Amino acid sequence: MIKPHGSDELNPLFVYDTTKNEALQVEAEGLQSIMVSSAAAGNAVMLGAGYFNPLTGYMNKADALSVANDMKTTSGLFWPTPVLNLLKDAAGVKAGDRIALKDPNVEGHPVIAIMDVEAVEEFSDDEIALISKKVYNPSPDEAHPGVDAFMEQGKVLLSGPIQVLNFSYFLSEFPDTFRTAVEIRNEIAERGWKKVVAFQTRNPMHLAHEELCHMAMERLGCDGLVIHMLLGKLKKGDIPAPVRDAAIRKMVELYFPENSAMVTGYGFDMLYAGPREAVLHAVFRQNMGATHFIVGRDHAGVGDHYGAFDAQTIFEEVPAGALQIEIFKADHTAYSKKLDKVVMMCEAPDHQKEDFVLLSGTKVREMLGNGIAPPKEFSRPEVAQILMDYYKSLND
C-alpha cells in the first residue's frame, strides 16, 4: 500500500488505549482549559485521525510562515497550509504549560485534546495578511469566506504537540460515514484494492460527478473508489452533510458495482482555499491510502477567486518526490446531447455550449426548491428526490 506522507507508518494522534484515554480525561479536569476555535478543533480531529501525518501538533509561527511562503516547514517537510491553534488572547497560557483544549462544537464543551505548549507567539497584522494572501489568494473585489473565518480566530498562536481524546461531533452524528485515515487504510486492505482513486466532495453528486468517477477508475485501472466527503462547517447555503450523505449513498447503491466504491467522510471545516486546499486534500488522501486523487475544475474554490484550473497547475510547484499520490486532472464534465453521454468538455472539440446540458447551481437549487427534478441528463432521479425532499422541508 502507498506510504503515508512524511513517514513509513501512519502516526495518528488519537489516544486509542482506553485506560490511557480515560486517565488523560481525568488529568484534563485539573488542567487550565481554553476554548479553541472550530478550525483548531477540526485540526485536532484531522491530527487525531491520521490525516495530517506526520505532524505531531499545531505549528509554531516560523513553520506557519514558512508553509505560507514556501509550502514547507522549517525542517523541510512539504506541507501546503498552516495547521494552527489561534486565539484572540493567550488567557495566561505560557510556554511549558500543559493545557486542555475544549471543543466549541459540542454541547458542554468537552476536552478534545491535551496540549503541551511549546510556544506562545503573536502574528503581526502584516504576517496575518501575508498568510491570507499566500494561502487563500483572495480577490480584492470579492468577500472570501475562508479568509473571513481565518481572520476571526485571532492572532495569538499556541504551538506544540497534542494528544487527541475524541473526534468531536463527527463520530456521533455521522457514525456510518466518518472514518479515520487508519480505518480507511484498513478497509482498503480488507477489500484487496491495490490502486485506489479518491473523490473529494462538499456537495451532492450529480450525474457528471458520478460519471467522472467512473472515467477515472476506468482510465487509471483502479480497483476501488473512495468518495470522501467533508463533514464539517461549510458556507451559508451549502447542503447539510446528512442530506449529501443520503444522496451519495443512494447513487452508489444503484449505479456502482458491488465492492467498487466506499462512501466515507472526514471531520474538517472547509477552508475554501482553492489551489492550496487541493494540495492539502492530496496529502490526506495519500495518508488514508489512496494512490490517485481527482482534481477537477475550480477544486475547493469559491466565487471567482481562482482560475478554473489553478488547483491543477499548483501541483507543478510540488517538489519531485514530495508526494507519492498521483493526480487525475479532470475538466468540467457534462452531458453531451450529440453523444448521448457524459463527457469531459475538453474532449468534445466539435461541440458548442448548446450541445451540452448545463445548469447553474442557482438554477438547480431553484428547481429543487420548487419541487422540480433536474433533467435525467443532469441528475439521477433518485438523487434529485432526496434533494427535493430536503428543500421541501425548509419550506414546511
What residues act catalytically? 202-203
Reported as type and span, the H/E element at residue 251 is helix 241-255
Which residues contact residue 393 at a Cβ distance below 8 angstroms, ignoring those fewer than 6 apart? none
User: How far is residue 200's CA from residue 391's CA, in Å, rounded to a whole number?
Assistant: 23
User: How far is residue 184's CA from residue 14's CA, in Å, rounded to a whole number?
Assistant: 15
CB 157 within 8 A of CB 60: yes
Instruction: Give residue 295's identity as a one-letter amino acid code.
Output: V
User: How far is residue 164's CA from residue 44's CA, in Å, rounded to a whole number?
Assistant: 7
- Radius of gyration from C-alpha coordinates of the chain: 21
Phi and psi of 200, rounded to 5°? -90, 135
Q: Exposed, middle or buried by CB within 10 Å (0-12, 13-18, 19+), for 116?
A: middle
Beta-bridge mates of residue 341: 336
